[in-house]
């Protein structure tokens, strides 16, 4: 008998992004091993009961579990946001606090604009060592910590769209509280909002993963070169075989202007969810 394993996935969404969350979840379920159980946790920002029921039915077909985490949004009211980075993006900062009543020791956080092309269990048990999380370097912003004037041993800056988090260490060191404090005290300098704040606190304390596990748009469209030869090799490997495709940037695959190389992959999965695309694709152009 093959022993089963369990993986914890956390994402946050509002009603508008439910179709994209469902697409992410279905991609994870379709690429996992048959004996792997995925426990989904959704940070619930006013999701309708109807949408929850539709998502629940889809997840239950794969013998996975799903739980909705209620939040007090008042504590996020003072956070700076933009048309591309809403307040919901800050929810990932407090994930360990949301999971406090569970037995979860580790979790993978994923943004809604991601699809899985490979089994995520391949990175689930990665050895974090003394680090609090594992992530992928942000493509195109390799000098960001210098620009923020952060005194760090390494200038490597991670993309917060995919993070493997050590829940216990995070809680014990009150990382959420430190990140919130930094964000509130430095709002004018936060170009990338929650991601800047996370990097400011967790620099030198995260494990660098291969970029295939957060293959951002700049990598897949070959718009940015990595400043090192090894990095360029890894970018080429990620373009050739991405494991997690992250549709970062303003134009998304559900926008009619998108020419992303994995747009069709997203649309194929999306149309298998309870939230298929009906009619014309929406515009991603700003007014």
In eight-state DSSP terms, residue 176 is H
Of 227 and 37, more confident: 37
- Mean pLDDT, residues 164-186: 89
Name the strand (E) or helix (H) holding 196: helix 194-202
Q: Which CATH number fits domain 5-270: 3.40.50.2020, 3.90.550.10, 3.90.190.20, 3.20.20.80?
A: 3.90.550.10
State how far the Cα of 92 lies from the Cα of 1, in Å rounded to an integer. Answer: 37
For residue 1, the model assigns a pLDDT of 40
**DSSP string for 220-269:** HTT-S--SSHHHHHHHHHHHHS-SEEE--SSS-TTBTT---TTHHHHHHH
**Which of 103-107, 142-146, 225-229 ranks highest by mean pLDDT?**
103-107
Identify the pLDDT of residue 6.
94
Least confident of 62-66, 172-176, 194-198, 264-268: 194-198
% of the chain exceeding 70 in pLDDT? 83
- 168-171 long-range CB contacts below 8 Å, 24 or more apart? 168/105, 169/132, 170/95, 170/96, 170/132, 170/133, 171/96, 171/97, 171/100
Whole-number Å distance between alpha carbons of 230 and 91: 33
pTM: 0.90
**Residue 2: which pLDDT band, with cuts at 50, 70 and 90?**
very low
């Amino acid at each position: 008998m093959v022993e089963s394993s369990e993986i914890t996935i956390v994402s946050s969404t509002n009603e508008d992004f439910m179709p994209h969350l469902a697409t992410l979840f279905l991609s994870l379920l379709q690429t996992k091993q048959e004996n792997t159980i995925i426990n989904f946790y959704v940070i619930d920002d006013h999701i309708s009961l109807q949408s929850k029921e539709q998502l629940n039915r889809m997840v239950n077909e794969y013998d996975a579990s799903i739980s909705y985490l209620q939040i007090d949004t008042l504590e996020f009211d003072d956070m700076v946001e933009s048309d591309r980075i809403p307040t919901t993006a800050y929810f990932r900062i407090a994930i360990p606090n949301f999971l406090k009543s569970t037995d979860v020791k580790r979790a993978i956080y994923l943004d809604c604009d991601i699809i899985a092309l490979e089994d995520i269990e391949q990175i689930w048990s990665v050895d974090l060592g003394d680090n609090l999380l594992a992530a992928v370097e942000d493509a195109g912003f390799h000098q960001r910590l210098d620009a923020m004037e952060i005194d760090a041993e390494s200038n490597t800056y991670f993309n917060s769209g995919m993070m493997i988090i050590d829940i216990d260490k995070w809680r014990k060191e009150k990382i959420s509280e430190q990140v919130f404090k930094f964000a509130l005290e430095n709002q004018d300098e936060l170009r990338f909002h929650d991601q800047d704040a996370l990097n400011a606190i967790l620099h030198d304390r995260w494990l660098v993963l291969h970029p295939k596990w957060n293959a951002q748009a700049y990598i897949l469209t070959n718009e940015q070169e990595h400043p090192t030869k090894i990095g360029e090799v890894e970018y080429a490997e990620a373009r050739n075989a991405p494991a997690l495709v992250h549709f970062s940037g303003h134009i998304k695959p559900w926008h009619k202007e998108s020419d992303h190389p994995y747009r069709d992959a997203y649309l194929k999965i999306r149309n298998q969810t309870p939230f298929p695309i009906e009619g014309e694709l929406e515009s991603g152009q700003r007014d």
